[in-house]
Amino acid sequence: MKFATFNVNGIGARLPRLLEWLAEARPDVVGLQEIKTQTESFPLAAIEAAGYHVLVHGQKGFNGVAILSREPAQEIHRQLPGDEEDVQSRWIEAQVAGVHFVCLYLPNGNPVPGPKFDYKLAWMDRMLARAAELAASEQPVILAGDWNVCPTDLDLARPDMMAGDALVQPETRARFRALAAAGWTDAIRAQRPHAPCYSYWDYQAGAWAKNWGLRIDHLMLSPAAADRLRDTGIDREVRGAERASDHVPAWVELA
């Protein structure tokens, strides 16, 4: 079973690229981030025609997540618990293909310091609490998404240019490391300990041409899921297409 994550940066602009990639990569389950549309405006018919069931948690203009799956998914939650006032669409959980699959879009958090960075750190604390609940269930769980975290300096091409950025701050990285301490496996890094494995290249300043990338799209596996890990990948070539997203798909294959 192949589980993927893909920040499409606007489903309206990206639908042709997404359909091409679905046909080529044939994932069983995909978490999408930054669909940037309301739930009722999601291109449901086109995705269903491609052979996928759809769960959508949209938002007008910003954020928005969805889970596509070849077999029907049972929705569990569509909000990260812990803050009733948080109305941003950044989280959806479902039981699908024998796995508890979470699709998340972690806040960017820039500029630092400021309210957006505070929101990021508080959101990560809520995420850690939910991850602990899920890990305690001892079932296979995948936390997949755009984490907006470069876990170490191996995960970005130009650490010098990013020193003040929310994605690399010690407070950000410490919260991400807490997942590993709690038994979660960063699947892509576990399989390739020394390769950069970038998943994002900025639209600006020729970042793709210069390979100034970041690894920020991660699939974190609970112990029961990690036991079944067979393969991982990053579909880098997707970034070179016309009208590409600034992110590319990342995926894991479980036995």
Quick check: bond before 111 cis, omega within 30?
Answer: yes
Nearest CA to 103 out of 165, 56, 36 is that of: 56
Q: How many CB atoms lie within 10 A of CB 252?
A: 28
| Minimum CB–partner distance for residue 148 and DNA (Å) | 7
Write b or e for each residue in 200-218: b if 16 or more Cβ atoms lie within 10 A of its Cβ, otherwise e: bbeeeeebbeeebbbbbbb
| 209 is a contact residue toward DNA (CB under 7 A) | no
**Cross-strand pairs, 68:** 30, 54
Applying CB under 7 A, among 16, 23, 51, 60 the residue interacting with DNA is 60
| 126 is a contact residue toward DNA (CB under 7 A) | no
DSSP secondary structure code for residue 247 in this structure: B
Active-site residue flag, 200:
no
| Minimum CB–partner distance for residue 223 and DNA (Å) | 31
| 16 is a contact residue toward DNA (CB under 7 A) | no
Q: Which stretch binds DNA (CB under 7 A): 23-31, 92-100, 107-115, 171-179?
A: 107-115
Nearest CA to 217 out of 240, 236, 244, 243 is that of: 236
Measured from the CB atom, the residue of 181 and 204 that comes closer to DNA is 204
| Minimum CB–partner distance for residue 193 and DNA (Å) | 27
Alpha-carbon distance of 246 to 79, in angstroms, equals: 25
Structure-token pair, residue 86: 């948080």
Measured from the CB atom, the residue of 28 and 146 that comes closer to DNA is 146
| 139 is a contact residue toward DNA (CB under 7 A) | no
Applying CB under 7 A, among 16, 20, 48, 61 the residue interacting with DNA is 61
Point out which residues bind DNA (CB under 7 A): 9-14, 36-38, 60-62, 107-108, 110, 116, 148, 203-205, 243
